[in-house]
Structure formats: C-alpha cells, structure tokens
Amino acid sequence: MAQCVKYLIDASIQTWQRMKGSDAEHGWSPRPSMETFCSALQGEIHAFEAHVQSCQKDFDLHTLYNVLLLLLPGSPTWEVQSLEQLEKLVAGRDWPGQDTVTITGSAESCDVPGYVAWLSSYLGYLNALKETFDAKVVFPLCEHLYVHDELDVRVERQSPVGSYSRSGAGHRGEKRPHAVTSIADIAKQLFAVRRKWALLLNRRVIDDRVFSPQSLCALQGFANIGPVVKVLRLVPDIFHKSLATAALARQWLSLHGSRYSVFQLPSEPGQEKGECRTGLAPGTSEPWRNEVAICLPESANGCSSFSGGQLHPGPRRSSSSFSSHDGGGWLGNVSAMRTKLRESREELMALLWRVERAGVLETQLHELTQSISSLQLEQQDTRRKLDNFQQRLEQADWDMPGSIPLLSSQCQATLRQLEDLGRHVELEEYHKSILQSDWLLELELRPCLIRQLDAVRGLAAVTGHKSHP
C-alpha cells in the first residue's frame, strides 16, 4: 500500500527531469533542477501577488456603489445580492441616454448597461486569473511538493530543545525551529480558501460564510450598503482570497524547502536489512541538501528510529546478547534488555499515534467524497440549465429575436460555470487521491502495531524475569 505514497515522490522526480529536458546520462543534477523548480514557483507567486495588488489598487469601488444605488429601486425585494440579479435588472428595463454614471476620480462617464457588462467581463478575467494560478502554482505544489509529514511534526513537538543536523554541514550548532505546522495542514487551509475563492466567482447569491471579515474594511465610508453589500463586497473579497491563497502557497513552498530538502521513504517489508530509500535523483549520490533524512521506525528491518527528536540506530541482535562469561554478565544483559524495551516502547507510541490518525483521515476522506458528490450533482444541474438555454436560444431565432443577446450571454455564463465546476471537481479528486494515499499508509501500520505490542510484552516479561535471577 505504500506504493501510493512512493508514486507521488517518484512522479515528482520524473517530472523535474522532464522540466529540465535532460536525464542522468546528459549530466542531470538534482540540486539545480530542484532550486530552479522552486525558484520558478516563487517567481510565479510573487508575480501573481503583484498583479492582484495592482488590480486591487485600480478597481473603482465607488463607481460600482453608484451603479448599485441606481439599480436598487428596480429590485422587487429592494436588494441586489448577485451579479446574475444585477444583469437581470439591467436587461429588464430601458436605459435612455442620460442614465449614466460618473467614474470616480475622472471626468468620464459610462452608461449603466455598459458598466454592468464590463463588470461581468472583469469577473471573467478574475476567474481566468485564478485558473492560471491553479495551473502554475497550485497543481505543481500538489503534484511535486506534497509530503506526508505528520511524523516529522510529532518529533519536533517532542524535542525539548531542538535537534541538530546529522551531517552538520552548513547547519552545525543550528537548532531546528519548534514548528508544528505541516504541509498537510497548509494544503488543507489552501484548499479551503481556494474553494471559497471559486464560490465567489459564480454569478449566484453567495452565502455570507464564504466572505472573509477582512473584505469589510474596503466598505468603510459607504452608507446604507445593507441591500447591496454582497455585490459591493464581492470583488474586494476575491482580491483578499487571491492573496491569502498565494500566501499559503508561499508558506507551503518555504516549509518544504526548509524541512524536506532531503526526503527518505519508509522501508518496505522485503527490503534488505538497513536499506532505506532516500530522496536522491537518478545517477547521483548526494542529497539535495545536507539535512537529516526521514525514516519511519521499523525495528524489523534495522532502519533508524526516532527518539526525542534524534535519530538512533534500530536494535540489532548479536550472538552474545544473551550469554556472558563473566560473573556480572546478567547485569549487562538486563541493562541491554531494558534499553531495548525502552526503544520498543518509543516505537510503539509512534505507531499508536499513526494508527489513531487513520481515523481522522478516514473522516476527512468521507467529507471530501460527499463534497465531490455535491459538486457532481451541481455539474448535472448546470448542464441541464445549459441545455435549456441552448434550446431556448434555438427557438428564439424564430419566436423572439430580441431575446437572443440575453440568452446568448446566459449560455456563455452557464458554460463558463460548467467548465469551472469541472476543474473544481478535478482538483478535489486529486486532493482525495492524496488523502487516500495517506490513509492507506496509516492502515498498513496496523499489523506493525500488533507485532510491536507483542514484542513489548515479550521484552517486558523477559526483563522482569532477568532482573530477579
């Protein structure tokens, strides 16, 4: 079952090779490839943030406010709660030439229908901006820099002072920070913010819980905004969620660079004793950086195990472990057995923590599956809605030619919504595959837990017997 997790890492290395357009026989080196890859991601995040901040600065909220006040009397409920409703209000009345709105900070003015059409296209542009960020940043992070890192977090929580690099090269005397954030946690936050970001970009009424409190700051100074607050707050909140997602992506990239410059997969049953896979690229013998490699505790195959943030070699049997030719030999044997028992108990605690986490992952997996099902149902409804608009558009050619522009606009908007839902489902399916890989890895540890429990009981019994000769 560990193949699921190994597949993610192996795929990362292969993708980095393809990105550089070279392989081991052409002198491919992991260090520049990894640094180039991360540097490119960092550059994309920085460029995205700069562009969003520029858009945020240039967006004229006062003009939107004035347009909403002009349209408000035409609403039967005296509210304007969505872009879709805004478009219907514009389409449902005649607009004489004098119905214009002055652009704030300028002598220019524009007609109300023209402004609403521009606003609709601007939200389409912001949606395209999100899709570009997904393609250039979110997808590469998920595909290449997602690490199952909860065990490492547990070790850092246990370490009272911090641990040192095993090699010491470039980090001698430097303590590891008391970070408790994991890449899995950051990924979960990023997906949550991104999901709300996507919800803001549809044209329907938005639930108040989707908005961030920070976007209210942009509405200071506007009076009587209650009936139009959702539309007025929409674009500022999109900007906020764009920047929040970018900040989480940078945090993800930074944490991966500081903690996982070298990543070592857990050994599988059947591998030779003491053999552990490391995060080395093909054809190389040096890790990306000189840091402590990570390996799950596996006493059965001699891998290193964690203890208080330090790496210790796994216990190995020797031919003289249970025999001695001097008079005090049994004392040495008892001491060795107690040491072995302590190490086994530490490994048992790690396994208990991992097995308990399997239940948490199972719950998250169930919730994500339900979310995907809801999105798929929404896809079906949107597809039916699109079919209905297309049928009405075909019929309008004969019956109501005047309604063709509105129906055509509705068809295009529904088609964009359907495409966005498809991308959203695809990303959630990918998120589910990552969670499922983690969950399967935790389930695999349950037999190890049973064996470790038996081993601890056996060692405890032997130690108790040896201490009373």
Pick the CATH number of 297-314+326-469 from 3.30.2140.20, 1.10.4030.10, 3.30.1360.10, 1.10.287.2610: 1.10.287.2610
Q: How many Cβ atoms are within 10 Å of 109's Cβ, its own excluded?
A: 11
Question: Please, where are the H alpha helices in 59-101?
Answer: 61-71, 83-91
What percent of the chain shows pLDDT beyond 70?
Answer: 54
> Tell me, what's the pLDDT at 145?
82
Helix 30-58 / helix 112-133 crossing angle, nearest 10 deg: 170
As beta bridge partners, residue 109 has 102
Spell out the residues 6+ positions from residue 305 whose beta carbon is closer than 8 angstroms to its own.
295, 297, 298, 299, 311, 312, 314, 343, 346, 347, 350
pLDDT at residue 372 is higher than 70: yes
Average the pLDDT over each of 58-62, 264-268, 342-346 and give the range with the smallest value.
264-268
Task: State both tokens at 325.
Answer: 């030719």
Q: pLDDT tens across 131-183, in order?
A: 899 889 988 888 788 775 544 444 444 443 333 333 333 333 333 334 447 88
> Tell me, what's the pLDDT at 109?
63
Higher local confidence (pLDDT), 406 or 181? 406
DSSP state of 173: T
pTM of the model: 0.52
Q: How far apart are the first and last CA of the chain?
A: 45
Q: pLDDT tens across 295-341, in order?
A: 323 333 333 222 232 323 333 333 333 343 444 454 556 566 666 65
The single residue listed with the structure tokens 């944490």 is 255
pLDDT band at residue 451, thresholds of 50, 70 and 90? low
383, 439 Cβ separation under 8 angstroms: no
pLDDT band at residue 381, thresholds of 50, 70 and 90? very high
Average the pLDDT over each of 59-68, 82-91, 237-246, 457-466 and give the range with the smallest value.
457-466
Average the pLDDT over each of 50-64, 274-288, 327-341, 388-402 and give the range with the smallest value.
274-288
Burial 309-320 (b: 16+ CB within 10 A, else e): bebeebbeeeee
- Going from N- to C-terminal start, the domains of the chain cover 32-164+193-263, 297-314+326-469
